[in-house]
Copies of this chain bind each other. A is one copy, B any other.
C-alpha cells in the first residue's frame, strides 16, 4: 500500500491518449492520462466513467452539448452516452472506471490502448 503522488506519476510519461493504471480498488481502476488534440466519438456499453481534470482545461463533446472541465472539476459520464474529449492544450486527467473499460469504448481502432501500469 503505497501512496500515489499525482504530479510525480504524471512526470513519468509523455504519450498522449495512453492511460496508465495507477491503482486498483473493488474491480475499479484509477488511470492517469495526458490528452492533447481530439479523441474519437465513442461510448461504453457497460461502464460509467469518472473524468477528473487535475491540470488544464478539457472540452467534452456530447451529441447534444459541450461541457468544459477546468482543474478541480469532474464529471461522471453514464454508460451508453456518446462523448468525444478535446484538449486544445495539454490536459492531465484522472479516470476512475471499471477494470473492464477500454479507452475507445465501442470502437476498436489504432487509438485503442493496451493496459499499462505505472
Chain A residues at the B interface, C-beta cutoff of 8 Å: 1-7, 23-26, 28, 30, 47-50, 54, 62, 67, 69-70, 72-78, 81, 96-98
- CB contact between A4 and one of B4, B30, B47, B75 (< 8 Å): that residue: B75
Most chain B Cβ neighbours within 10 Å, of A7, A73, A77, A81: A73
B74 near A6 with CB under 8 A, answer: yes
| Nearest B-chain residue to A96, judged by Cβ | B96
B74 near A3 with CB under 8 A, answer: yes
| CB proximity of A11 to chain B, nearest CB, Å | 12
Bound state CA distance, A78 and B26, in angstroms? 9
Query: Chain B contacts of A75 at CB under 8 A?
Result: 1-4
